[in-house]
Amino acid sequence: MSRGAAMLIMGVFTLYFLTPIWWLLVSSSKTGGDITGTAPLWFTADSFPTFFANLGNLFTYSDGVFGRWLANSALYAGLGALVGTVIAAMCGYALAKYEFRGREAIFNVVLSGVLVPATALALPLFLIFSQVKLTNTLWAVFLPSLVSPFGVYLARIYAAASVPTELLEAARLDGSSEARTFFTVSTRLMAPALVTIFLFQFVAIWNNFFLPLIMLRDQALFPVTLGLYAWNSQISQIPELRVLVIVGALVSILPLIATFLGLQRFWSSGLGAGSVK
């Protein structure tokens, strides 16, 4: 395929994927009436002040519950992904670097976890959490978020490829404990993989919707996805929520974009590493 044709296809798809975001941005700067009444992909004359008015409404509506949702999402996704990454890294590292009975069996079980959709597990999780009276608490969303079978898989593959066994032996000879070796030596070598795992987990938890929907009743605990969904389901009663849902959706993707751009450097270097040996 010629270079021109390739660029054309790329351009078309870029446009295809960016149009909804563009629409979101444009619509965020309109009043409820203008959304239906004006050109969907272009701004109105007073877009700028309207956008900030909408933002203001978003963060003050219903005692500022939206800010609370954002903070919840940041907590669930940020801390959840961080702890989840550490667990996945330790697990994957252990599977890659230690020989013990049942190693492959454990790995296969973890791997099969990748195949089970999170949605299918939500209901059983609800029944289990009900037994221990943890539903409608932040633990109900936080604890399941710590589990990342895909992260374990990635960590194992990466640790096997990038952490030389000789180095570990040298560390042992120097008297370093296994834990210390892991945290000071191995994690640095695995850094690109860890960033990738973190990003995957962060996005997965940020976008997770079904689990909070089933677990949470208290509006103050909602993540931003569930909160927006709840608002959206009430548009026919409270039509002014339409604007807030649109602006809220725009605001809610900003942390994702920021995280991606911020970690891109580490992430893209990790993708290529180990591909050519």
Q: Does 229 bind other proteins (CB under 8 A)?
A: yes
SS3 sequence of 216-270: CCCHHHCCHHHHHHHHHCCCCCCCCHHHHHHHHHHHHHHHHHHHHHHHHHHHHHH
Question: What six digits make up the tokens of 247?
Answer: 């602006």
Q: Does 126 bind other proteins (CB under 8 A)?
A: yes
Q: Which is nearer to other proteins, 40 or 262 (CB)?
A: 40
Q: Which is nearer to other proteins, 237 or 275 (CB)?
A: 237
Q: Does 24 bind other proteins (CB under 8 A)?
A: no
DSSP summary character for residue 132: T
Q: Report the C-alpha gap between 273 and 43 in whole angstroms.
A: 44
Closest CB 12 distance from other proteins, rounded Å: 25
Q: Does 240 bind other proteins (CB under 8 A)?
A: yes
Q: Which is nearer to other proteins, 61 or 142 (CB)?
A: 61
Contacts 24+ apart (CB under 8 A), 149-152: 149/110, 149/111, 149/112, 149/113, 149/114, 150/114, 150/197, 150/200, 151/84, 151/85, 151/87, 151/88, 151/89, 151/92, 151/197, 151/200, 151/201, 152/88, 152/91, 152/92, 152/95, 152/107, 152/110
Residues 99, 166, 174, 218: which binds other proteins (CB under 8 A)? 218
Closest CB 191 distance from other proteins, rounded Å: 38
Q: Does 235 bind other proteins (CB under 8 A)?
A: yes
Closest CB 21 distance from other proteins, rounded Å: 17
Asked if 219 and 227 touch (Cβ cutoff 8 Å), the reply is yes
18 contact partners, CB below 8 Å, separation of at least 6 = none
* Among the residue ranges 48-56, 87-95, 98-106, 218-226, the one whose residues contact other proteins (CB under 8 A): 218-226
Q: Which is nearer to other proteins, 213 or 273 (CB)?
A: 213
Provide the mask over 32-71, with x wherever binding to other proteins is found by CB under 8 A and - wherever it is not. Answer: xx-xxx--x---------------------x---------
Binding site for other proteins (CB under 8 A): 32-33, 35-37, 40, 62, 119, 123, 126-127, 130-131, 133, 135-136, 213-214, 217-219, 226, 229-230, 233-242
